[in-house]
Amino acid sequence: MKKLVTLTVNGITHELAVEPRRTLLEVIREDLGLTGSKKGCGIGDCGACTMLVDGVATFSCLMLAIQADGCNVETVESLAENGKLNKLQRSFVDLGAIQCGYCTPGMLMTATELLRRNPHPSEKEIRRSLSGNLCRCTGYQKIVDAIKAVAGE
Amino acid sequence: MILPEFDVLVPNTVAEACGMLSKYADKGVRILAGGTDLLVDLRRPIVPSEISSCDGCATHKTGNVRSTIDCGWWESDSSPESDRALLKKVQDSIHQYPGYLISIHRIKELRGITTNEKGSLRVGAMTTVTEIERSDIIREKWTALAEGADSLGSPLVRNRGTIGGNIANARPAADTFIPSVALDGVLVIQSEKASRKVSVDKFATAPGKTVMEEGEIITAIEYPAPPEFSGSAYYKLANRKALEICNVGVAVWIALEKPGGPVADIRVALGAVGPTPILAESVKKVLIGKKPDEEIIKKAAKAARDDARPIDDHRGSAWYRSMMVELVTDRMIRLAVKRAEGEA
Ligand code: FES
Ligand code: FES
């Protein structure tokens, strides 16, 4: 039986009827059509599905939509400002921190949380906070550089 | 959808949760905390191993074990023995697919880190590993627990995973479980009718098996106040720094009579070298009443090695693990002694 869930996603509040077994990731991608967040593994290993739930970086593949009832969710779609990439996104592009791009939405959300909590993280802190987000392309260094470039300002 | 069908109930109080646990017991019910283990375990196997799907009937084509038994497909097999064996297998698998999950995220009383006037610590079962990692008081006084939290999974796992769930799963390598044994933690367990306390070192009976009974829920873990001149440490020996399960995990808590003085008490917990975290009792005999000098610490580490019961698996051989238990115990005792003396 479907249940009613209220989700505020990127500032817009939705009331949705969802099957209890559906994950937050599935509901956001399939019902709300926000396909920026990716599914890599579905078991909490890769971080491609990372969103901020009430400000906390969360893998949405292992959270049921029902568990997010009443929460404020931010996805990668919320980052751009007036249709323009934000500083962090720009930095990823400029410094080559994106190759295939599959990990990027998760990396950006994890980095967004880190920078809110700690605007000037050390390289060690950056690496540690990214340790649950896998990237098969960049070798991580460029992602770290891209975040550092923003954090240094 | 990757998860099997179930309903989710969201209680607001522990009493309500206990009521639901007994009400739905026969339908299969599991407590959903952070979900970082349960929702992984519940995933429907995309290619069911061993049990083939029902291909005879129109409604049940999913390969879902539950529907396979529902439509009686298994009955069609010829030999009674194989039928029985298959039925058992199917029933066992159904056991993993509960009809109800009780998501306890709304229950406020299950959250939070508090100390009381006697200086003991209470960590609510739904407290996340990140909250433990960032708690200054835990890092200062129950250091091994903070270090366990540091090393668990990845930041994303720690943001969702809870200490109650980590212990309840009863895995011998669980990074908050092992330090909780060394720190003499006590689990507060509630059921509809009663509340009881179980010492963390007596909680697990086998991998994934515990002394918990139907209808019970862990509400908190309590840790005694650390005496003067005491300290603790945890080290996870693993191949990677994140998203890893330890080869060997050692937590040590030590209390000295005075700095440099004899050992008043010691608890060493060994992880991933037995079916449950092991409290190394023989270490006590070696160390208590003695000055913790180099030689005696060496002896104590050997004693820990004798208490370990490692097996060979893909993470490491029993031989390697034995050696590492000794080495890591040696280092952790030294570190805990330093901390007890206020040096580290
Ligand atoms: S898809 Fe969620 S962690 Fe990989
Ligand atoms: S850019 Fe391809 S996985 Fe990271």
User: Which CATH number does the domain housing residue B37 bear?
Assistant: 3.30.43
Whether the per-residue pLDDT at B251 is higher than 50: the answer is: yes
Contacts of B153 in chain A (CB under 8 A): 44, 132
Q: How far is CA B219 from CA A41, A78, B111, B118, B165, in A?
A: 31, 37, 9, 20, 11
Could you report the per-residue pLDDT of B60-103, keeping only the tens digit for each?
Answer: 444 444 444 444 444 444 455 655 666 566 555 555 578 999 99
Asked if the model's pLDDT at residue B305 lies above 70, the reply is yes
pLDDT at residue A133 in the model: 98
B2 found inside a domain = no
Q: Is residue B315 part of a domain?
A: yes
Question: What angle is formed at CA A26 by the lines to CA B17 and CA B244, rounded to 5 degrees?
Answer: 75
Strand ranges (DSSP E) for A10-131? 12-18, 50-53, 56-59, 72-74
Domain end marker among B94, B126, B159: B94
Q: How many domains does chain B have?
A: 3
How many CB atoms are located within 10 Å of the residue B340 CB?
28
Is B49 within the bounds of a domain?
Answer: no
- Same domain for B256 and B220: yes
Q: Is residue B26 domain-shared with residue B87, that is, in the same domain?
A: no
Tell me what pLDDT residue B89 has.
Answer: 61
Q: Which residues of A touch B157 (CB under 8 A)?
A: 44, 59, 132
Asked whether the domain spanning A87-151 has the same topology as the one spanning A3-76, the reply is no
Return the residue matching tokens 């229950």. Answer: B107
- Identify the pLDDT of residue B79: 56
Query: What pLDDT score does B55 carry?
Result: 46
pLDDT of A85 above 50: yes
User: Considering the entire predicted model, what is its pTM?
Assistant: 0.90
Q: Does A138 touch chain B (CB under 8 A)?
A: no
Domain co-membership, B171 together with B72: no
Residue A132 near ligand 1, beta carbon < 6 Å? no
Average pLDDT value over all residues in chain B: 88
Say whether B57 sits in a helix, a strand or coil.
coil
Q: Mean pLDDT throughout B275-285? A: 96
Closest approach atom of ligand 1 to CA A62: 2
Domain that holds residue B138: 111-340
Q: What's the ipTM?
A: 0.96
Closest CA to B331 of B147, B187, B188: B147
Same-domain check for residues B198 and B323: yes
B121: number of Cβ within 10 Å: 23
Closest CA to ligand 1's atom 3: A44
Q: How far is CA A62 from the centre of its chain?
A: 14
Is the residue at B221 inside a domain? yes
Is the CB of A138 within 6 Å of ligand 2?
yes
Same structural domain, B87 and B194 = no
Residue B150 has pLDDT above 60, yes or no: yes
Domain ranges in chain A are 3-76, 87-151
* Chain B residues inside the 8 Å CB shell of A62: 35-36, 39-40, 160
Statement to judge: residues B124 and B166 lie in one domain: yes
- Is residue B75 in a domain? yes
Question: A124 — contact with chain B (CB < 8 Å)?
Answer: no
The pLDDT of residue B63: 45
For a ligand 2 pocket test, name from A137, A141, A142, A144 the mutation site with the most ligand atoms within 8 angstroms of its C-beta: A137
* Predicted pLDDT at B314: 84
- Residue pLDDT, tens place only, B312-334: 888 889 999 999 999 999 999 99
pLDDT score of B97: 77
pLDDT (average), residues B132-144 = 98
Residue B26 lies in a domain: yes
Q: Supply the pLDDT for residue B3.
A: 87
Q: pLDDT tens, A18-33?
A: 999 999 999 999 999 9
| CA-closest candidate to residue A79, choices A47, A56, A111 | A111
Report the candidate in B171, B113, B117, B168 with the shortest Cα–Cα distance to residue B142.
B113
Q: Does A3-76 carry CATH code 3.10.20.30?
A: yes
For position B242, which CATH number holds?
Answer: 3.30.465.10
CA A142 to chain centre: 18
Nearest to B254 by CA among B228, B222, B232: B232
Q: What is the mean pLDDT of residues B258-287?
A: 96
Residue B1 lies in a domain: no
CATH superfamily, with its number, for domain A87-151? [2Fe-2S]-binding domain (1.10.150.120)
Distance of alpha carbon A105 from alpha carbon A82, whole angstroms: 18
pLDDT for res B144 = 98
Q: Is residue B201 in some structural domain?
A: yes
Which residue has 């037995």 as its token pair?
B274
Greatest mean pLDDT range, B16-30, B96-110, B216-230: B216-230
Q: Is there a contact between B183 and B232 (Cβ–Cβ < 8 Å)?
A: yes
Please tell me whether residues B37 and B176 are part of one structural domain. Answer: no
How far, in Å, is the centroid of ligand 2 from the Cα of A139? 9
DSSP annotation of A28: I
Res B59: pLDDT: 44
pLDDT tens digits for range B160-202: 999 999 999 999 999 999 999 999 999 999 999 999 999 999 9
**Measured between CB atoms, does A44 come within 8 Å of chain B?**
yes
The kind and range of the H/E element at B326 are helix B318-340
Q: How far is CA A108 from CA A58, A88, A125, B22, in A?
A: 12, 7, 15, 43
Integer Cα distance of B301 and B293 in angstroms: 12
